[in-house]
Copies of this chain bind each other. A is one copy, B any other.
Amino acid sequence: MSENLDQIWKALSDPTRRDILDLLRDGPRLTTEIVEQFPDLSRFGVMKHMEVLREAGLVNTRADGRKRINSLNVTPLRQIMERWMSKYEAYWTNALLRVKDLAEESASEEKKTKHKRA
C-alpha cells in the first residue's frame, strides 16, 4: 500500500485521465456516461484509462445489474499531496500560507459553495 505511489503518479500523468477524475468530482458516473464525454476516443480507449485509474485506487467501480458505477476515491490524491507538501515543506512557505487561507475559507464557508465543473 506504499509502492503504488508510482502507479498513482503514472495515472495522473495523462491529461485524459485527469479529465476523467474531474468529471467524477461531480459524482459517480456510469462507464457509458464517461465514454460519451470523450467523443474523440473509442470506448475501449476510455475503458483502458479507467482501468489505470482503478489500479491506482483513484476510482472505485461497483456493479449494479449491467451497469458499472464509477466513483472518485480521493485517498490516493490526498496521500500524494500530503507527502509532497511535507517533503518540500521548507520550500512551501508562501504556498502553505495560501493553502492555509484556503483551508480557513473553506472551513468557515462550510459547504455553501458546491464545487463546479472543470
A95 & B82 in contact (Cβ 8 Å cutoff): yes
Decide if B102 touches A85 in the complex (CB within 8 Å).
yes
Residue in A15, A18, A96 whose Cβ sees the most chain B Cβ within 10 Å: A96
A25-B87, A25-B90 given. 18 additional CB < 8 A pairs?
A9-B14, A9-B18, A12-B13, A13-B13, A74-B91, A77-B88, A81-B81, A81-B85, A81-B99, A82-B98, A85-B99, A87-B118, A89-B115, A90-B113, A90-B115, A96-B107, A99-B103, A100-B100
Q: For chain A, which range describes its interface: under 10, 10 to 19, 20 to 34, or 35 or more residues?
A: 35 or more
Q: Which residues A6-41 have CB closer than 8 A to chain B?
A: 6, 9-10, 12-15, 18, 22, 25
A96 to B109, CA, bound (A): 13
Beta-carbon nearest neighbor of A22 in chain B: B87
- So how many copies of this chain end up in the complex? 2
Chain B residues in 8 Å Cβ range of A77:
84, 88, 91
Q: Which of B22, B88, B93, B96 contacts A99 (CB 8 A)?
A: B96
